[in-house]
Amino acid sequence: MPRRSASPTITQVAEAAGVSRATVSRVLNGSTRVDPGIAIRVREAAGTLRYRPNLTARNLSTGRTLTIALVIPDLGNPMFQVILRGISRAAEADGYSVLVAEVASPEREAAIAREARRQCDAVVLVSPRMDDQVLDELVEQISPVVLVNRRTTDPRFASVGIDYAAGMKQLVEHLVGFGHRDLLYASGPPRSVANRERLTALHALVDADPALTLRSIRCGSGLADGYRVAAEVLDSGATAVLAFNDLVAHGLLTRMHELGVDVPRDLSLTGFDGIELSRVLNPHMTTVGQEELDAGTVAWTLLRRRIQRSDAQGRPEQDDARDDVLLEPQIIIGDSTGPVTSR
């Protein structure tokens, strides 16, 4: 039975052009060492047959897939979407495709990453929640890899992230400048490394200034989480609340509004991440974020270099110097923060 319009193979192109498959391959892959006349014949044959090389076969032969995997905790979070977008655009510009793998539950994180690596040349781990030890071992296995928003204890591994401590410093100084002394942190997911680092940074800042007080409450990472804890925030009596991220801040803000609490008159509020929403919605949210370069783009730069290295593994070229980019966030001052007033 005749396969209906099975796509042509390199063999058919070779026959049509009256040359060998190797020659077809050379022409189509831009090898200069080929007779111009033959090249034209081959291209014509390929054109009329509408030949497209089978990528799977090529991948098997070359050992490369020109695909990278992005392992991401939550496709619903705007932060991660920005990273996905950045890395997708950068990678595609270099001819690489992006496979997306969402981590359903933190326990499956390592397994998913390993699985993803089997069909890709490299992987980007975004905000992995696993332990340092597990992470170190994993990274070694699935290398080349770049970590986003997380570093490891092993200095060999590349990473890119925001300097959370610097960001928190800017926020706290901003609040302190407004006279706030009694701070509250609405914390993110307990397993989130970003959350732990932000909290640690806050503690360090507050410890350095005896006038300051810091408390924290459990919250979460989404709009609904902020909304939910609003009352608890009020009960605390703090004059300023630093939310784990922008979504939480917006959730809080919404609920405050409903409760008749005026932000920033009654309470100052800051976010983190600098998502678009924070700059457009009313009132504009005070937050910190990275402006020019997004982590996704940087991650691709780092990753590409490592892919090339491991391609040219003939000479290991022990130049695995640590690539560790720490992006400096900028404070974005909105209307959600203001001077302390007696209430």
Query: Which residues bind to DNA, rule: CB under 7 A?
Result: 6, 9-11, 18-26, 28-29, 32-35, 37-39, 51, 53-54, 57-58, 60-63
Nearest distance from C-beta of residue 46 to DNA, angstroms: 10
Collapsed DSSP state (helix, strand, coil) of residue 221: coil
Question: For 245, how many CA atoms within 13 A lie in the half-sphere containing its CB?
Answer: 22
Of DNA, a copy of itself, none, which one sits near residue 85, judging by CB under 5 to 8 A according to partner kind? a copy of itself
- Give the strands of the sheet with 268-270, arranged side by side: 213-218, 182-187, 240-243, 268-270
Nearest distance from C-beta of residue 154 to a copy of itself, angstroms: 17
Question: Which residue's CB is nearer to a copy of itself, number 42 or number 82?
Answer: 82
Question: Which residue's CB is nearer to a copy of itself, number 33 or number 118?
Answer: 118
- 273 DSSP assignment: B
Of a copy of itself, DNA, none, which one sits near residue 35, judging by CB under 5 to 8 A according to partner kind? DNA
**Cα distance between residue 274 and residue 264, in whole Å:** 18
Of DNA, a copy of itself, none, which one sits near residue 11, judging by CB under 5 to 8 A according to partner kind? DNA
In the block, tokens 């959600």 appear at 336
**Cα distance between residue 139 and residue 156, in whole Å:** 10
**Cα distance between residue 253 and residue 267, in whole Å:** 10
**Cα distance between residue 8 and residue 13, in whole Å:** 7
Of a copy of itself, DNA, none, which one sits near residue 19, judging by CB under 5 to 8 A according to partner kind? DNA
Of 138, 250, 246, 128, residue with least CA distance to 191: 128
Nearest distance from C-beta of residue 34 to DNA, angstroms: 4
Nearest distance from C-beta of residue 281 to a copy of itself, angstroms: 6
Question: Which residue's CB is nearer to a copy of itself, number 172 or number 230?
Answer: 230
Question: Which residue's CB is nearer to a copy of itself, number 54 or number 200?
Answer: 54
Question: Which residue's CB is nearer to a copy of itself, number 81 or number 236?
Answer: 81
Looking at residue 301, its amino acid is T
Question: Which residue's CB is nearer to DNA, number 28 or number 333?
Answer: 28
Of a copy of itself, DNA, none, which one sits near residue 99, judging by CB under 5 to 8 A according to partner kind? a copy of itself
Of a copy of itself, DNA, none, which one sits near residue 29, judging by CB under 5 to 8 A according to partner kind? DNA
Nearest distance from C-beta of residue 202 to a copy of itself, angstroms: 26
Q: Which residues bind a copy of itself (CB under 8 A)?
A: 52, 54-57, 59-60, 65, 67, 75-76, 78, 81-82, 84-85, 88-89, 92, 97-102, 104, 116, 118-119, 223-224, 227, 250-251, 253-254, 257-258, 276-277, 280-282
Question: Which residue's CB is nearer to DNA, number 59 or number 301?
Answer: 59
Cite the beta strand spans of the chain per DSSP E.
67-72, 97-102, 122-126, 145-148, 158-162, 182-187, 213-218, 240-243, 268-270, 287-289, 324-327, 330-332
Of DNA, a copy of itself, none, which one sits near residue 102, judging by CB under 5 to 8 A according to partner kind? a copy of itself
Asked if residues 13 and 24 have their Cβ atoms less than 8 Å apart, the reply is yes
Of 113, 117, 139, residue with least CA distance to 68: 117
- The two structure tokens encoding residue 269: 């509020």
Question: Which residue's CB is nearer to a copy of itself, number 75 or number 204?
Answer: 75
Q: Give Cα separations from 52 to 10, 12, 120 (angstroms).
A: 8, 11, 21
Of DNA, a copy of itself, none, which one sits near residue 25, judging by CB under 5 to 8 A according to partner kind? DNA
Asked if residues 255 and 232 have their Cβ atoms less than 8 Å apart, the reply is no
Nearest distance from C-beta of residue 214 to a copy of itself, angstroms: 27
